[in-house]
Amino acid sequence: MALSVQQRGKVFLVLTVCLLVVGVCVPFSGHDLQRVMQVAIGFCAVLYGLSVAPSERLVDRPTALGLALIIALGLLSSVLAHQPLWAFTEMAVFISCGAIAVAFALLRRHGGEALDRTLILVVTGLCLIKSIQYLHAGGLAFTSGASTLDPDSLLSGFSNKRFYGQFQTFTLPLLALPLLIPNVSRAWRGAVFALLCVWWLIAISGGTRGTWLGMVVAGVVLAALGPSGRRWLGWQLAAVVGGVLLYGAVFTVLAGYLGVEIASAASDRLTTSLSGRGPIWWQAWHMLVERPWLGFGPMHFADIANKTAAHPHQAILQWTSEWGVPSALCVAVLAWRGGWATVAEVRERMLSTKRADLLRLCLLAALIAALVQSMVDGVIVMPNSQVWLALVVGWLMALHVWRTPAPTALPLAWGVWKALTVVSVGLLVFIVVRDLPQINQAQQQYLSTHDNLLQPRFWAQGVIAR
C-alpha cells in the first residue's frame, strides 16, 4: 500500500531528526560522522523529493535561471580542474544541500503550521541535550580535583569548538521563538528562557567570535525592522546577561572558591586578531587573481597545501577562488534577492503574532547571523552547518508569500532537477563507501607527516593536494 504525501513527509522528518541527533549529540561525533550524516539526510531528501511533486514553483524564474547558471559554471570549472572528481564532489555537496532545502520546503508546505511547532521542539530538544552534556561535563570537571580547567574540554560532539559555535549561530535565534508567542504559558516561557541563558553561557565560554559577531549584526538588523524584532533582541540581550552572570558564577566565583585555575577564559578571545586567517586569505586572493573567470575548481583551495587550513574561512574568497567571479556574483545576487524578499515580508508582518510570521523573523535572524559568520569562518564548508543552512533556506522558501499568483511548476525543469539530485547523491554515496573503510588509516598517515594537524574540508583530513 502506497504511503500518502503526509506519511512520506513524516518518514522523512523522523529520519532527519534521528540523523541530526546522532550527528550532533553523540559524544563521539565529529566532522567525518557529520559528513556521513549529511549524505544520509541528502539521500532521504532526494527520495522524498522524487515522491512529491510541487504544484507550484518554489522559486521564481530569475532565481531558477541564476541557479542553472551557477551549476553550469560549476560543471565547466570542475571539468577544467586539476582533480575533477573532487571538484564534482563539491558540486554534488552543493546540489544535495539544494535537495535538502527543497525537501524541507515541500515538507512545510504539505504539513502546514504544525510543522513549525515540530521544528522548534526539535531545536529545543537538541539544545537541551547539548546543555545537559555541557553541565554534566562541568560538574565532573569541578569535582575531579584537577587544579586547572579548560572550558573547551566541556564541549562535545564536534571536532572543533568553532563548529559548535556555528551550530549555536543557527539555533540561538530559533530558540527565542517561544518567548515571542503571546499565548505560551509562563512555565514554558521560563523554562525556554533558562535554556537560552545556558545556551548563551556555552556560546560565551566557547569563545567563538564569529557567533558573537553574527548575533550582533542580526540583532541590529531585526531591531531596525520593527517591534517584533526589538522584542526578539530584548529577549536575546536578557539571555546574554543571564549567560554572563552564569559564566561569572561558575568560572570565576565557583572556580575561585574551589581553587581551580581557568585556562583559555572567554575574555582572552576579546581581540581583533585574525587567528592565522591572513595567509589563507592571501592564498585565496592570489588564486582569484590568477583565474578570475572559472576559478581553480570547486574544493580546489584544498588542492594547494598550506599549514593552516583546507578552506579560506571566508565565503566570498572561497567561492571566487574556486568557482570564479561570475559564479560568485550570481550567488551574491540570488542571496540578496532572497534576503530582501524575506526582509520585506518581515517588515509587512512585524505586528503579527502568528507563529509562522514570528518563525520567519527568527529564521531571518539565523540566516543573517550565519552569513555574517561565514565571512570569518567555514559555515559553508562544515557538514552540520551546511545542513542547517539548507534547513533555514528551505523553511523560508516554504513560508514565502507570493505577491502575485504563484506560477505553476514546470515538469521539465523539475525533472532535470530531480536527475541532478539523484546523480549528486549517488556520487556522494560512492565517495563515502570508497573512503570510509580506510579513513582512520589515511588520517594517521597524514598526521604523522603534517605536524599532527587535520585540516577539515570534505573529510576531517580535507587536503586533496597530492
For residues 257 and 91, give the distance between their C-alpha atoms in angstroms, rounded to a whole number: 54
- Domain range holding 111? 5-404+414-449
Contact between residue 262 and residue 151 where contact means Cβ atoms under 8 Å apart: yes
Query: Does any domain span residue 104?
Result: yes
Question: What DSSP designation does 136 have?
Answer: H
pLDDT for 71 = 97
All cell numbers assigned to 180: 515571542
For residue 295, the 8-state DSSP code is -
Cα–Cα distance measured from residue 79 to residue 323, given in angstroms and rounded to the nearest whole number: 12
Q: How far apart are CA 425 and CA 249, in angstroms?
A: 48
Residue 54 falls inside a structural domain:
yes
Q: Rounded distance, CA 308 to CA 7, Å?
A: 47
- Please count the other Cβ atoms lying within 10 Å of the Cβ belonging to residue 3: 11
Residue 462 forms part of a structural domain: no
The neighbouring-strand residues paired with 261 are: 148
pLDDT of res. 406: 60
Identity at 78, one-letter amino acid code: S
Instruction: Please report whether residue 258 resides in a domain.
Output: yes
One-letter amino acid at 366 equals A
**According to the model, what pLDDT value does residue 405 have?**
65
Alpha helical stretches, state H, 249-354 = 255-258, 277-290, 315-323, 325-348
Using CA atoms, how far apart are residues 102 and 139, in angstroms rounded to an integer?
42
Does residue 335 lie within any of the structural domains? yes
Nearest to residue 16, comparing CAs of 368, 422, 390, 430?
390
**Per-residue pLDDT reduced to its tens digit, 397-423:** 999 987 766 666 677 888 999 999 999
The answer to whether residue 466 sits within a structural domain is no
Residue where the block lists cell 580535583: 145
Total domain count, the chain: 1
Identify whether 375 is part of a domain.
yes
Q: How far apart are CA 91 and CA 80, in angstroms?
A: 14
Q: Residue 56: inside a domain, yes or no? A: yes
Nearest to 13 by CA among 108, 93, 130: 108
pLDDT value of residue 466: 73
Q: What is the per-residue pLDDT for 179?
A: 96
CA 420 distance to own-chain centroid: 23
The pTM assigned to this predicted structure is 0.96
Those residues whose C-beta lies under 8 Å from the C-beta of residue 374, and which sit 6 or more positions away, are 314, 315, 380
State which residues of the chain have pLDDT below 70.
Answer: 1-2, 55, 404-409
What's 207's DSSP letter?
T
Q: Residue 240: how many CA atoms within 13 Å on its side-chain side?
A: 12
Q: Under 8 Å CB-to-CB from 265, ≥6 apart: which residues?
A: 151, 251
